[in-house]
Amino acid sequence: MKTELLREYARLAVVTGVNLQKGQKLVIRAGVDAAPFVRLLTDEAYAVGARDVIVHWSDEKITRARYLYADDDLFDSAFPWQAMMFDLLSGEGAAFLSVSSSDPAAFEGVDPDRIRRFSVAYGKANEKFYARLMASRIPWSIVAIPNEAWAKKVFPGKPTDEAVELLWNAIFDTVRIREGGDAVAEWTAHSDRLMRQARKLNDCNFRYLRYENALGTRLTVELPEGYLFAGGSEKDERGIDFIANMPTEEIFTAPKRDGVNGVVYSSKPLVLNGNLVEGISLTLTDGRITDVHADRGEEYLKAEIDVDEGAHYLGEVALVPYHSPISESGILFYDTLFDENASCHFAFGEAYPTCIKGGADLSKDELLARGINAESNTHVDFMVGTSDLSIVGVTRDGREVPVFVNGDFAI
């Protein structure tokens, strides 16, 4: 991998991703195998005037061993010292950058109930921290780098080195990094495009979106009054732009919590907590998921929906054209950061407060009263877009407007 491209990727994550400001602290969360890239991120952070760079390391193999062998009662509590660290640093306004690099089969064979209980405990312990992230009070971003297991899943049959190289190239394409290019400038233009598309959807003032495709999806999604589609960059509490996911191709909002009805089928596999889930169908009645099916990994999907009551409701509606760059690459990444940006998707679990006018300043109760799913310890995206997806918008005065025709924007 060429060093200049890696440096540019690190610069992009620091300058455009979290948009680190002079005197601000940066927290990097990364796996130990990502150390060489984390060192580059650290250099870039100090180059723009970071006050301090704090790295929180993890390791999936150690986490797996813990899930398999630790005492059972351990999974009802989460690391309080870590929660204190994230709470203190996020309270000080630090920026949080995650370097994702997961083995899609990391937790195969782990008891789904241990994962569920730990997820509940972790969410509760980190409630204040997550609330700051979800409401965009502090800048945060996620970028990804390859690992061998992941690369071999994406490019089966290739020798390991070649698979890793191919995955690097695929990731660089998705984040607009190429030799002789200017990724930071390209991202500004890209973000503006997404924001323009979001504004168009906001101006329509839809009451419902009606989804239909040949997979069998027939879903009516009500939108709350004052819904806001967002896309591209967002602003933190101080008004500084940041980009939460790199890549990003979506515009998204929150559905009305009790206003989703019908059946929805997934169109891509989902890697959920280190396990593959395929062939999902969900039935929703007055917003609540009343039936869950998956051809593979159903027990992991059900465990995640059982995390809490809020996980039984949708928290995100996201639109991504079938003919958009990551989708057109034809690569199935087995990683939601990429696959959700190749496909229309929904998330079950907590909604982003910023998806409703004035939402960042509302309490959870006020958000619930405004109709969005404000209370859950999880948020899981799953992909539903297809080349024949039709979405019809119904305005508050009853007009029908084609939003998606044959998988692409018609608006």
Q: How far is the CB of 380 from Zn ion (least distance, A)?
A: 8
332-351 mask for Zn ion (x: CB under 5 A)? --------x------x----
Question: Which range, of 13-21, 281-289, 312-320, 391-399, touches Zn ion by CB under 5 A?
Answer: 312-320
Q: Which stretch binds Zn ion (CB under 5 A): 113-121, 195-203, 292-300, 311-319?
A: 311-319
Binds Zn ion by CB under 5 A, chosen from 318, 331, 344, 362: 318
The piece of 121-129, 175-183, 212-220, 318-326 that touches Zn ion (CB under 5 A) is 318-326
Cβ at position 376, least distance to Zn ion in Å: 12
- State the Cα–Cα distance between residues 141 and 133, nearest whole angstrom: 10
Per-residue CA distances from 160 to 1, 58, 277, 402 (Å) = 14, 23, 24, 45
Considering the complex, state which of residue 140 and residue 252 has its C-beta at the smaller distance from Zn ion.
Answer: 252
As measured in angstroms, the least distance from the Cβ of 111 to Zn ion is 26
Q: How many whole angstroms from its chain centre is CA 178? A: 24
How many CB atoms neighbour CB 364 within 10 A?
14
Tell me whether residue 19 or residue 253 sits nearer to Zn ion (CB atom).
Answer: 253
Nearer to Zn ion, 75 or 252 (CB): 252
Q: What's the CA gap between 303 and 308, in Å, rounded? A: 10
Closest CB to Zn ion among residues 316, 335: 316
Sheet strand arrangement including 345-349: 230-231, 251-253, 314-319, 345-349, 379-383
Query: Which residues, numbered 222-241, are part of the site for Zn ion (CB under 5 A)?
Result: none
> Least distance in Å: CB of 130 to Zn ion?
13
Which of 335/340 has CB closer to Zn ion? 340
CB-facing half-sphere around the CA of 90: CA atoms within 13 A: 24
For residue 180, give both structure tokens. 């002789």
Residue closer to Zn ion (CB basis): 60 or 339: 339
Rank residues 129 and 382 by Cβ distance to Zn ion and give the closer one: 382
Task: Pick the closest to residue 400 from 265, 209, 218 (CA basis).
Answer: 209
Smallest separation, CB 142 to Zn ion (Å): 11
Is residue 316 a contact residue for Zn ion (CB under 5 A)? yes
State the first-to-last Cα distance of the chain, in angstroms, to the nearest integer. 40
Q: How many residues bind Zn ion (CB under 5 A)?
A: 7
Report, in Å, the least distance between residue 19 CB and Zn ion.
20
| Smallest separation, CB 227 to Zn ion (Å) | 15
As measured in angstroms, the least distance from the Cβ of 7 to Zn ion is: 28
CB of residue 370 to Zn ion, shortest distance in Å: 19
Per CB under 5 A, the segment of 28-36, 101-109, 247-255, 370-378 that binds Zn ion is 247-255
> 273's torsion region: left (phi>0), alpha (psi -120 to 50) or beta?
left
User: Cβ closer to Zn ion: 236 or 340?
Assistant: 340
The 14-53 site mask, x for binding Zn ion (CB under 5 A), equals ----------------------------------------
Residue type at 26 in one-letter notation: L
Residues that bind Zn ion (CB under 5 A): 250, 252, 316, 318, 340, 347, 381
